[in-house]
Amino acid sequence: MNQLFESLSFVENPLYERIIEDILAKQYSVVEDFFLLDEVAVLRQSLLDKHEEDRFKKAAIGNHLNETIVKSIRGDVILWIDENKANSSEMLFFSKINNLVDYLNKTCFLGIMHKEFHYAVYPTGTFYKRHIDTFQNDDRRKLSFVCYLNDEDWQVENGGELVLYLNTNGQYEEKVIYPFPGRVVIFESQIIEHEVKPVNTERLSITGWLKTR
């Protein structure tokens, strides 16, 4: 009976359908206004408040390399977001994410059971060298999700562009994506190599992963 109600209540969502089509066709999707500018503004404020409180930590790269090596690979500082302790702007964030996840699970049988998200600040001069988002021996990350929280007057000249390296039979094509506020990039964690180019000014975002098991 419950199942019947579930299928009756299913309403096709054109935005989510587009994301799914994109990912099936090219392993990534860019959505311009996933978050509206006033939503970005409250999320940015939440990030800035926590950053001010000195709660961010230097990002690691999942293994035992020393700090100098890590710094030559990535220079961002991060703070994981606990959904159970979410403030009002983070609740808004998770309600949109959870809607998307429910939709993906209903329509694509992706089996997303877990998710993890962190705020990220790239201080001036930092970057994240070309990499892939899955660690050895851990293939649970299915989709990577990045949402930019920069100011409305973010300029292309600020740098910090995300570059996706799209592989067609060993030939790499570069897809350059500027971190404009409200913009969301979703891509297949296990497939797409990518990098964050050096920034000339502080760059703000939320990054996360939708995971199986």
Q: Residues interacting with Fe ion, by CB under 5 A?
A: 133
Give CA–CA dist 120/90, Å, rounded: 14
CB contact at 8 A, 122 and 75: yes
Residue 44: name its binding partner from Fe ion, ligand AKG, none (Cβ under 5 to 8 Å by kind). Answer: none
Nearest-approach distance from CB 106 to Fe ion, in angstroms: 27
Counting contacts by CB under 6 A, is residue 194 touching ligand AKG? Answer: yes
Q: Which is nearer to ligand AKG, 13 or 26 (CB)?
A: 26
Reduce the DSSP state of residue 167 to 3 states and report it. strand
Q: How far is the CB of 88 from Fe ion (least distance, A)?
A: 28
Q: Which residues from 122-151 bind ligand AKG, rule CB under 6 A? A: 128, 133, 146
Q: Where are the strands (E) in the chain, listed by range?
A: 28-31, 57-58, 77-80, 112-122, 128-131, 141-148, 162-168, 171-177, 184-188, 193-196, 203-212
Q: Verify binding: residue 100, ligand AKG, rule CB under 6 A.
A: no
Residue 31 binds which entry of Fe ion, ligand AKG, none, CB below 5-8 Å type-dependent: none
Rounded to 5 degrees, φ, ψ at 86 are -65, 140
The yes or no reply on residue 205 touching ligand AKG (CB under 6 A) is yes
Report which residue's Cβ sits closest to ligand AKG: 162
Q: What is the dihedral of CA 210, 177, 22, 206, to 10 degrees?
A: 20
- Per CB under 6 A, residues contacting ligand AKG are 128, 133, 146, 162, 194, 196, 205, 207
